[in-house]
Amino acid sequence: MKTLYVEGDSLLHRLAPRTKLLGLAAAGIALFLFRSIPPLALAAVISVAIYASLGIGLRQSLARLRPIFLTIAVVALFTLLVGSVEEAATVLLRLTSLMLLAAAVTATTGIGEFIDEITLAAWPLERLGLVKAADIGLSIGLVIRFVPEILDRYHAIQDAHRARGLKPRVLTLAVPLIILTLKNADEIAAAIDARGIRAQR
Amino acid sequence: MTTRDLVLAALFAAIIVSLGLLPPITLGFIPVPITAQSLGVMLAGVVLGSKRGTFAVLLVLLLAAIGLPVLSGGRGGLAVFAAPTTGYLIGWVFAAFVTGYIAEHFVDRGQTGLVQGVNFFLAALIGGVVVLYAFGITYLALVTGLGFSKAFLGSLAFIPGDCFKALIAALAGRAVMVGYPLLPQRA
Amino acid sequence: MDIRFEEAEARFDGRIVLHPLTLSLSERRIGIIGLNGSGKTTFARMINGLVIPSSGHVVVNSFDTSKDGEKVRAETGFIFQNPQNQIILPILKEDIALGLKNRKLSRQETDVAVARVLQRFGISHLAGRRAHELSGGELQLAALASVLVTEPDILIMDEPTNQLDLKNRELVKRTIEGLDENIMVISHDLELIEDFDRVLLFHEGRLAADGRPADTIRRYRELTR
């Protein structure tokens, strides 16, 4: 799976992940405090400038932002139909700014940095006995590891349908996919314990 | 959480991610193409129960947040949490929990197949549709200033597809329970 | 290596899978054979504490599996039937490093240990590959590397040549022959264990024969006739 991180040496790349995340949270709150168009328009211009400074390129940026921008645009359009121009512009500017800033943090922060940050953030929860911080990194690794295998299995089940002249249906695909995948769980769990990866309580 | 629970949740998160990578399905009688990913959220509750199901969904959202394109249509990154539809993503967590909780408490191995199926359907419908839309519509209403009734109106088109998914989740949940029982049972 | 079974019995859901067994093992290379469902995998899993005896004790290098699971697992490495499920993280070198996590090594020490074990099995070129893309033989070597990086005293392998083509089977066989660890191999591939120091035969949950490979294998053939 390709991550959305982009190699680079911009100011945002060099900032600590925590600074970026706290900055994003602050920006998110600020964007919802502004209620008039001029400051929101200014925020949108600044957000575009920040995103542009990363040097991702127009085509790549469009590919990344289009799906989310489309939902924002559709909702803004709907707001225009049932509300006022001002309301629609507020929604459009506010959410587009937030989207750009969030995408900028994502593009400049590697997965490893995020996992380190999450592990640190989870430490108080570990003290309370709710989660084990190290489990988070392990779980993320497990998911990334098994997605390609599940897709392969999905195609194999699809082929098995075709070979027997059956029309593939959501239900008859999903059920064997789930059973076959989860049946591995016992052996994977045994392997994790056998290798002493997850120190026992 | 035991290692097995952790692995089950991670594998199910991988299934939810995989479902999002498959092309959306168009059903003849519903105008909007449905993605199998939100079906995965209901399935997580129905198959794994509340605790592991919730953890599976949280993992998917965590992967999206740290920049992996794991949501349907290749979406990912923190920007997905800046969309007007973010309420639905937050709702996933509670949808899986409620679906799982109801399934754990109302589906029993001693029941007939029909009763099990109906109970699974109600679990998926209450968790995966009622709870999910409560979060999705509230968020949409607040973030856009549209107000509840208009936000509800705007979401209406998707509800039939999600009810259909609840039906699929119920049938699949029963089939998985027969083939590989995992749901924690009442004492 | 010193493994002792003391009246150890295993049950699943009340059904006896392994009848009470008393046995002591110290040979360097031990083979385990028997029909499917004869109890041999359960026997092997009892040695690294994945299965705890329902009565009796299993003691590995003076650690009781029911009390010191963590220590027993540090003494024993286990290669599962399907190595596909054994590689836990997406990238091979990350997965191998995972086993060292509890050692609290520095990043540099970890890198050195990982590089050394990859080199040992001739798979340095696979370090950055996705586990998902490895072939059957590569996967088996990767599993060996991921387990032996922690330097266990005993290595248990559950049907290591299962599902391999002839070329990969030869590769794995040669690799096993070259291991200087204490090894214990469960196999249907009788050729693999024919020059081992000791071979155990399980049948219907009991130890049916125990001794030199030729004798045990002969007894196995008689049983299945």
ipTM above 0.95, yes or no: no
Measured between CB atoms, which of A142, A184, A194 is closest to C48?
A194
Tens-place pLDDT, residues B79-136: 889 888 899 999 999 999 999 999 999 988 888 889 999 999 999 999 999 999 999 9
Residue A200 contacts C, CB cutoff 8 Å: yes
User: Band of the pLDDT at A122, cuts 50, 70, 90?
Assistant: confident
Average pLDDT value for residue range A57-75: 89
Which DSSP string corresponds to B110-173?
A: TS-HHHHHHHHHHHHHIIIIIIHHHHHHHHHHHHHT--HHHHHHHHGGGHHHHHHHHHHHHHHH
Assign 3-class secondary structure to C178-192: HCCCEEEEECCCHHH
Banded model confidence at residue B27, pLDDT cuts 50, 70, 90? low
Contact status of B79 with chain A (Cβ, < 8 Å): yes
Which burial class, exposed, middle or buried, applies to A115 when counting CB atoms under 10 A from its CB (0-12, 13-18, 19+)? Answer: middle
Asked if CATH classification 1.10.1760.20 holds for the domain at B3-179, the reply, yes or no, is yes
> What pLDDT score was predicted for residue C122?
92
Answer yes or no: is pLDDT of B186 > 50: no
List Cβ neighbours of B87 (8 Å cut-off, separation of 6 or more): B135, B136, B137, B138, B139, B140, B143
* Two tokens, residue C15: 């059904």
pLDDT digits over C18-36, tens only? 999 999 999 999 999 999 9
- Could you give phi then psi for residue C129, rounded to 5 degrees? -80, 160
Q: Which residue from C82, C88, C146 is facing A141, i.e. has the nearest CB?
A: C88
What is residue C53's three-state secondary structure? coil
Q: Which of A148, A184, A197 sits opposite C85 (nearest CB)?
A: A184
Q: How far apart are CA B18 and CA B68, in angstroms?
A: 13
pLDDT at B187: 35
Q: Which positions in chain A touch B62 (Cβ < 8 Å)? A: 118, 136, 140
Structure tokens at A150: 């599940």
A36 touches chain C (CB under 8 A): no
Nearest partner of B137 among B151, B157, B154, judged by Cα? B151
Of B21, C88, B48, give the one whose Cα is nearest residue A179. Answer: B48
- Residue A189: count other Cβ atoms within 10 Å of its Cβ: 20
- Tell if the CB–CB gap between C73 and A138 is shorter than 8 Å: no
User: What is residue C50's predicted lDDT score, i.e. its pLDDT?
Assistant: 85
Per-domain boundaries in chain B: 3-179
Helix, strand, coil content of chain C in percent (nearest 5): 40, 30, 30
Q: Which chain B residue has its CA at the smallest distance from A69's CA?
A: B83
Residue ranges of alpha helices (H) inside B1-131 are 3-21, 37-48, 50-65, 86-106, 113-125
Alpha carbon A63 to its chain centroid, in Å, reads 15
Distance CA A130, CA C223 (A): 53
Residues 114-143 of A with CB under 8 A from C: 134, 138, 141-142
Q: Is A159 on the interface with C (CB under 8 A)?
A: no
Chain C residues within 8 angstroms (CB to CB) of chain A? 45, 48, 50, 69-70, 73-74, 76-78, 80-82, 84-90, 94, 98-99, 101-102, 130-132, 146-147, 150
Looking at chain A, which subunits does it touch, using at least 3 CB pairs closer than 8 Å as the criterion?
Answer: B, C
Query: Which amino acid, one-letter code, is at C76?
Result: T
- pLDDT for C55: 95
How many residues comprise chain C? 225
Position B76 pLDDT exceeds 80? yes
Task: Output the six-digit token pair for C51.
Answer: 């299965």
What pTM value is reported for the model? Answer: 0.83
pLDDT confidence bin for C144, thresholds 50/70/90: very high
Residue C69 with chain A: CB contacts under 8 Å: 200
Cα distances (angstroms) measured from residue B25 to each of A36, B20, B173, C119: 41, 11, 20, 48
Segment A32-35 long-range contacts (CB within 8 Å, at least 24 positions apart):
A32/A94, A34/A94, A35/A90
Domain containing residue C14: CATH number: 3.40.50.300
Q: Is residue B82 within 8 angstroms of chain A, CB to CB?
A: yes
Q: If 0-12 CB within 10 Å is exposed, 13-18 middle and 19+ buried, where does residue A28 land?
A: middle
Centroid of chain to Cα C200: 14
Q: Is the pLDDT of residue B23 over 70?
A: yes
CB-based contact A194 C87, cutoff 8 Å: no
